[in-house]
Amino acid sequence: MNSHADDSAKASPPYQTFSLWSDSELGNTESDNTEVFEARGVSNGWMTKINRPTLAVYRPTPESNTGTGIVICPGGGYGGLSIEKEGHAVAQWMAEQGVTAGVLKYRCGGGANQHPVPLQDARRAIAIMRENAAQWDLKTDQMGILGFSAGGHLAASVATDEEADINYAVLVYPVISMREGVTHQGSRRNLLGDSPTEELSREMSRDEQVNESTCPTFLMHAGDDKAVPVENSLRFYAAMQKHNIPGELHIYDRGGHGFGMYRGDRPVDQWPDACKAWMQMNGWIAKEPTGDTTAATDSVHAAMDDTQPGWTSLTEDDFAHVNSNDDTWSWHDGVLHCTGRPVSVLRTAKQYENFELVVEWMHEKPAGNSGCFVWTTPESIEKLTEAAKPGLPDGIEVQMLDHGYTDMIRQRGKDTSWFGTNGDVFPVRVQMTPFPPLSPDGSRSFPRKHLAKGHGQWNQYYVRAINGEVRLWVNGEEVSGGTDIEPAQGYLCLESEGSPIQFRKLRIRELP
């Protein structure tokens, strides 16, 4: 067992890496390692020349462990692996759902790594999971496989491979067929060579291998996928219907190809929620608790009661201007109004270490961009005050974005994958390890649920900051946060980046 920084993709929580084969089985040595990792921008690490395949295993907490396991096959046209957004990010999310998840770094690239080499690696990865079932508290009859694009073809190959004996499969914009006019040509060439026989093309068209023993399968595709035609998923699902195989097929209007675990605001970006619901229905992921509980959502609403011990209201006397105009921030009947101009912050009069905060906020116009800062450093506040110019401090930003912000950025022809509008939590020039799911570049904690309301409507944020950890609840449910924060003490700030916004019902309770 060892760790590899190059393919960890800023992975959190930690994982264990297992070699699939010994050097003698591979016919090479450690010095023969040819692996190349290339960072391609926003959490889109690309790995090629793999000759020492591994399985990186993420385990859930003992309390959340469902006994379910899954092997994740990143895509890449059988030429390389999109190891981050279609690998580690997915495993982190699965572990959070109570699933033991292994990221398969399989051999590919054509040549000596053509079929059946990738399938051999996938079979071995499943065997490793089952060999460790007792140690990891796994149920051997709850073992699944998930794959993206060409990795989806590999996963489909396992799903239709009686030797693998898999229990369920998740196929995300998968390559299914090796038939001309349907297949992805790069995947076909790298896996089968330039001129595969008719028999081999038929064998590796996995829709043609579906039978009564094929496992239940979840499929997802975007209708406008120009790289891998949606017909691939349609063919596989039609074969499932023919042989009475249970499963689901989700076709989204737009989404393209290769978005992986990105959690934005498009309908297609919610596919993990649909997958989770399917896995819950089948008993592979635990269902959400129901009934009368003492969940965090109850305590949040209770915190709004002034009679709760230790809670105090934050009023005009509790804040000080930092770098705003005299009329940027103003109080009227207990409501704090901000014009948003200039970009500026209002800080608390005192610094806080451990505390709980409840605040309601509402953007007055579409595309609003605001937030609050937790544990803002005194040094950055001092610099902003002295400069008396627009700017934001150092600390942990708990973002407040209107959904129209995404449309505005897209209209400008810019990338919208690096932020979300339902409660991102991220560090600004300080240290933090974000909770998954992560933004594509790994720096932000993206919200697990999309609960924020649009402009003109009030949202409630509940923030708990304690012992170097920040957690955010949006409208009553926990969605994001981070840990290992340094420094874990400082001012609390409200900010707006050009947007008129209102804040009300600010409550705070200091904790030991």
Q: What mean pLDDT do residues 113-142 have?
A: 96
| Position 103 pLDDT exceeds 60 | yes
* Residues with Cβ within 8 Å of residue 446, at least 6 apart in sequence: 263, 420, 424, 436, 437, 438, 439, 480
- Write down the pLDDT at residue 393: 95
Residue of higher predicted confidence among 416 and 373:
373
Helices (H) and strands (E) in the chain, counts: 12, 26
Could you give the 3-state DSSP secondary structure of residue 187? Answer: helix
Give percent of the chain with pLDDT exceeding 90. Answer: 75
Beta strands 335-338 and 501-510 are antiparallel
C-alpha of 253 from chain center: 21
Q: What mean pLDDT do residues 414-442 have?
A: 91
Q: Give the tens place of pLDDT for each residue, 326-366.
A: 899 999 988 999 999 999 999 999 999 999 999 999 999 99
The CA-atom distances, in angstroms, between 93 and each of 88, 90, 198, 209, 236 are: 9, 5, 40, 30, 26
Q: Give the tens place of pLDDT for each residue, 43-53.
A: 678 999 999 99
| Position 20 pLDDT exceeds 70 | yes
Q: What mean pLDDT do residues 465-475 have?
A: 94
- Write down the pLDDT at residue 166: 95
Task: Report all structural domains of the chain as residue ranges with CATH numbers, in order of start.
Answer: 5-281 (3.40.50.1820), 296-510 (2.60.120.560)
- Write down the pLDDT at residue 409: 85
Q: Give the tens place of pLDDT for each residue, 388-411.
A: 899 999 999 999 999 888 878 877
Q: What mean pLDDT do residues 72-89 have?
A: 95
Q: What mean pLDDT do residues 78-93 have?
A: 94
What angle, 0 to 180 degrees and rounded to 10, lies between the N-to-C axes of helices 150-159 and 185-192?
Answer: 60
Q: Provide DSSP, 2-25.
A: B--GGGSTT-SS--EEEESS-HHH
Q: What mean pLDDT do residues 280-295 have?
A: 68
Q: How far apart are alpha carbons 88 and 442 in whole angstroms? A: 11
| Position 295 pLDDT exceeds 50 | no
Nearest one of 429, 431, 357, 435 to 400, comparing CA atoms:
357
- Write down the pLDDT at residue 449: 87
- Write down the pLDDT at residue 42: 56
Structure tokens at 76: 């890449």
- Dmax over Cα atoms in the chain, in whole Å? 79
Categorize the per-residue pLDDT at 291 as very low, low, confident or very high, splitting at 50, 70 and 90: very low
CB distance 243 to 210 below 8 Å = yes
- Write down the pLDDT at residue 10: 36
**Which pTM does this prediction carry?**
0.60
Q: What's the mean pLDDT when you consider all of the chain?
A: 89
Q: How far apart are alpha carbons 217 and 355 in whole angstroms? A: 45
Exposure b/e, 362-397, CB count within 10 A at least 16 = b: bbbeebbbbbbbbbbbeebbebbeeeeeebbbbbbb
Categorize the per-residue pLDDT at 15 as very low, low, confident or very high, splitting at 50, 70 and 90: confident
What angle, 0 to 180 degrees and rounded to 10, lies between the N-to-C axes of helices 117-131 and 150-159?
Answer: 60
Q: Is 207 exposed, middle or buried (0-12, 13-18, 19+ CB in 10 A)?
A: buried
Q: How far apart are alpha carbons 5 and 42 in whole angstroms? A: 17
